[in-house]
Structure formats: structure tokens, C-alpha cells
Amino acid sequence: MSDVMASGALQRISEVEVDEDGLKNPEELLESDVFKALCFQFEYEASKLSNAGLLNALQALIKLRIDPESTLMASLLSESEERLATRQLAVEHQCSLAESLLELEGPGCATLEQIVNRIQEEDIENWTPREMTVVYKMLQAAVREGEQYHDLLSRMNSATLAIADQLSPNFTSIILNSLVVLQQTQAVPLVIALCKHSVKHVPYFTDDELVNVLDAFLYFGHREQSFTDALETHVPKSISSMHPETVSKVMQYCCQKTILSKPIFDAVAECFISDADRFTTSQIAECIAPFGTLNYLPPSASSLFRKLETVLHTRFSQFQPHTLLNLLHSCVLIQRYPVNFLPKIFSPYFLQHLQAQPPGLDRFVASQLTRLFLTVTLECPFYQGPKLLPKYQVKAFLTPHCSLDFHLLKRVKAGLLYLLKERMYFASEVSTPYFYIVDIEIKLDEEGFVLPAAQCEEVHKRIALCVDGRNRFCINSHNLLGEEAIKRRHLQLLGYKVVQVPFFEIESLHTSRKMAEYLHKKIFPHTYGLGC
């Protein structure tokens, strides 16, 4: 048997005999005549081995937990280091040796530093895609962050940009993952090129490879419409065979990028209904929470939330406190009320657990608790369970996804000033006693006349103008985000007349007079055109 075949046999044995807990049957394996014969060949003929046979065998034996002090391992390591010193190892073989040394000795190994220094002397511009990929992978494992080898990585990033369109799905995924781990935030041109290149590979990525690519999109904050289009084609067709981690990562990508992809969301809903038991509790939350965050109910919504309720009943104790709170909070955004579970959420026991685990009861978490409490108070008056104590409530909701578009607000205020003649007749960014902040508030008396904003007596009706910029909607959509949709519902239940002023209705209104006419129709539709 050639050394390459023998090392291949060792690698296959390591794949079969090793699981997450280590060797399955160590005594049986080590006493096997076949295994002994293979090891004998490598121990006593190390100097005659090819580089590939030598280093593949070394990796397999490390995975099989063979004693590093044994004569077998000492012989292979000595021969490998001798070849490194005499420059007999190509780039790919140097990286293979580096991975083995990392497993044995960790990142502080002196030989490892020697390998990286040797690689810096190489002619990087002439590396093949495979050589480039194995060096990225080795640096990812050896360095963890790129500052120490900034110049080497900078040269590699430039060289990779030139061959980006030649990379296979596997190489594309590995390099993007390395750029994330090595924190290469300055390599923007390369990241964009790889993200664009990944579009054509979407149907061919393995689950792990697609997760790496999605992580890169999330880490570098990049969004590619053609990539989303490719996902919309691929995910519905392949979701039944996808790993749950991949499904949840796709949903995490859509959620963070505020991409409301109905084909993907509908497919994920059907997948969860039929196969929820495959998902861990954190994966369940990552799959379901985006429905609330992006304010979307799929056609199978009734079945989806019945299934979710069943899962919560059977696996409630398995959910981490913050994961559970995030999941239930997302449900109320789309009017799915978890009243059966709220007594446990508002209990001192749960709140103590919430406080004990990072990030504790910060303002974001307190906002979620407060919104749950306000929702059951306003929308579920039949709820008779425990209430949320005031010490856990916020004074105003934290809405990081829905910050106010001040340029848009300025234009609307100019139109109101033209319409109402005096600035005293409206107020902006008004705090209410109900945790919400109103963009613009107008007060009316019983006869419908506008009152000064500072007046508190004789107020018969309050009008809340919601000045909605693009960041309050799903990307490329007129679909409000969940936190904004629930805000309108609650303000109406609290007695406000809610008037929505969305960006797409006023983008073409370039003068205060046109804005005033628009606002007149919106706010006072019954008096518009009557000379009032």
C-alpha cells in the first residue's frame, strides 16, 4: 500500500472511530492488527514518506488521540520539522503541519510562528486558489485576529480580490469565514467581491458553507439583492433537507437586514409546523421571532402558532430566559398573545433568572417586558394573572430599529406651520404616560378646534402624527416593522387618532404649501376644501 493510500486509510479510520466524546472503542482500535500494521509503516519509514502521506497521517493520528510522546508521533513530528527547516514543504503542506501543531501544542508553539514567518516570504500573487484558502484557514486557527500579521493579510486580501471569481463554493465560504474571524473590516472590496461571487454558488453550498456566508453578510453589514433573490429561489426548494441551524441563520439574516421575503418566511413556517422537534430552543426563537419583528403573518399562521404553543408547553423549561422573552415579545407584535405563559414571565422567579444572566435587565429587556405588560393590559382585558411590577417597567420604550427621521420630521413641521400658522399648535417628540413617544401631537377641543400644545384643559381629542421614514419599514417595502405596528394599535386603544405620514407619500412634496395641503387632507379630511 502506498503511503498516500495508507494515510487515507488512517483518515477514514479517524472519521469512523472518533465522535464528539473522543474514541468510541480505544482498546479495540489500538489492538487491531490492521491499525498496528499501518502505524508500523509510518513509524519506521517516515523518511521515505511523501509530504502528503506524512502530514495526512499526522493529522489522522492526532484526531485518534495517539500519545504525542509515543515513538510513532515523535518520528512523524521530527521528520515534518526537518522538512520544514530544509524548505521541502510547499505552502499547503506547511499549513497542514501548522494545523497539527495547533492541535498538539496550541497557538504558542514556536514552530508555528516559524511557519507563518516562512509563509510571509512566499510569492503570494502566484498562489493558487487552494493555497490561498489553506493559508487563510491556518491563520484563522493560529492568530484569531489579524493585527499581528497585518501586512501578510493585506497582501493576501489584495491577491484574493484578483482571483475571487475563480473560487469554488467551498473556498468562497472558508475565506469569508476567515475574514470574519480575523476581523478584516478594512477588506471591504474583497468582502463585496466575495459576497457578489457567492450568489451563483447559493444552490451548491453545503449547510455549513451557507452558514459561513450568511455570517459574513451579517458581520460586515453587507446586503446584496441578488443574493436575497437566490435565497428566495433556493430555500423553499431545499428547506426540507436543510439543517435547522441553516434555516435559523437564513431567518436571522432576513431579520437583521429587515428583508421581508414572503417565499422564505412561508417555507420556514411550513417547515416548523411539520418538523419542529428537530429545532433547538434557540433555533426556534431565531426562526419565529422575525415574523414579529418584520410584522408578517404567513398563510399558515394559525397552524404555525398552534404548533409554537404546543412546543412551549412541552419544552418551556428548556428555553433560556432571554430567548423565551424575545420569542414571546415577537408574538405580541403580530397580535398573537401568549397569555398562558405570562404568569410565569411576570413571576419573581423568572425575573430573577432573567436578571442573573447576561445582559441582565438592561433597558432593552425592560422595554420588552413593559410592552408585554402593556399589551395584555390593552388588548387582553380578560387576563387576570400577575402584573409586571413598576420597578421592572421603563419610562419610555427603546426602539433602536425605528429611530426618527429628523429630515422628514423637519419637512412635516414646516408643512404644519404653513397649515396652522403658529408653532404653538403642535408639539414634537412628546412623551406620553404610556411609554410611547409621539412624533407630533395635536390637541383638539370638543368642537374640533386646534388647541395650543401646552394646554391641558378642555382637550377632547389628541392626534398622533407618525412620521415614518424608511427605517420604520422592511427594506424595499411599505410593510411597517412590528414595533411600529404595535405602537399604532396601542395609541389608538389609548384614545389617540393616529395619522400615518409615510415617506413614500410625501417624497414628491417639495414645498411647504404642498405639504400643508397633504397634511390638511390627512388630519382634517372632513374640512378639507370647505374654506376652513
Instruction: Please check whether residues 365 and 420 belong to one and the same domain.
Output: no
Instruction: Please check whether residues 390 and 405 belong to one and the same domain.
Output: no
Instruction: Please check whether residues 352 and 421 belong to one and the same domain.
Output: no
Does residue 2 sit within a domain? yes
C-alpha 44/C-alpha 65 separation (Å) is 20
Final residue before a domain boundary, out of 363, 394, 425: 394
The Cβ-side half-sphere exposure at 208, using a 13 Å CA radius, reads: 4
Tell if the pTM clears 0.85, that is, is over it.
yes
Instruction: Please check whether residues 454 and 385 belong to one and the same domain.
Output: no
Does residue 360 sit within a domain? yes
Final residue before a domain boundary, out of 71, 98, 122: 122
Distances (CA, A) of 67 to 61, 63, 286: 9, 11, 42
The per-residue pLDDT for 187 is 94
Instruction: Please check whether residues 406 and 490 belong to one and the same domain.
Output: yes
Instruction: Please check whether residues 352 and 406 belong to one and the same domain.
Output: no
The per-residue pLDDT for 142 is 78
Instruction: Please check whether residues 419 and 513 belong to one and the same domain.
Output: yes
The per-residue pLDDT for 402 is 52
Residue 98: domain span: 1-122
Instruction: Please check whether residues 341 and 369 belong to one and the same domain.
Output: yes
Q: Which ranges of 199-338 would DSSP assign to H, the alpha helix?
A: 207-220, 225-238, 244-256, 262-275, 281-293, 301-315, 321-333
Taking 70 as the pLDDT cut, the residues of the chain under it are 1, 21, 144-148, 398-402, 528-532
The per-residue pLDDT for 505 is 95
C-alpha 348/C-alpha 326 separation (Å) is 18
Domain CATH number, residue 418: 3.40.960
Does residue 22 sit within a domain? yes
Instruction: Please check whether residues 386 and 415 belong to one and the same domain.
Output: no
Instruction: Please check whether residues 409 and 365 belong to one and the same domain.
Output: no
Does residue 71 sit within a domain? yes
C-alpha 329/C-alpha 325 separation (Å) is 6
Helix orientation angle between 188-198 and 225-238, rounded to the nearest 10 degrees: 40
Q: How many domains does the chain have?
A: 3
Residue by residue, DSSP assigns 22-85 as: EESSHHHHHT-HHHHHHHHHHHH-GGGS-HHHHHHHHHHHHHTT--TTSHHHHHHHHHHHHHHH
Instruction: Please check whether residues 371 and 442 belong to one and the same domain.
Output: no
Does residue 345 sit within a domain? yes
**How far from the centroid of its chain's Cα atoms is residue 358's Cα?**
18
C-alpha 136/C-alpha 157 separation (Å) is 10
Angle at CA 12, nearest 5°, toward 8 and 13? 115
The per-residue pLDDT for 313 is 96
Q: How many CB atoms lie within 10 A of CB 32?
A: 15
Helix orientation angle between 244-256 and 225-238, rounded to the nearest 10 degrees: 150
Instruction: Please check whether residues 379 and 449 belong to one and the same domain.
Output: no
Final residue before a domain boundary, out of 369, 394, 419: 394
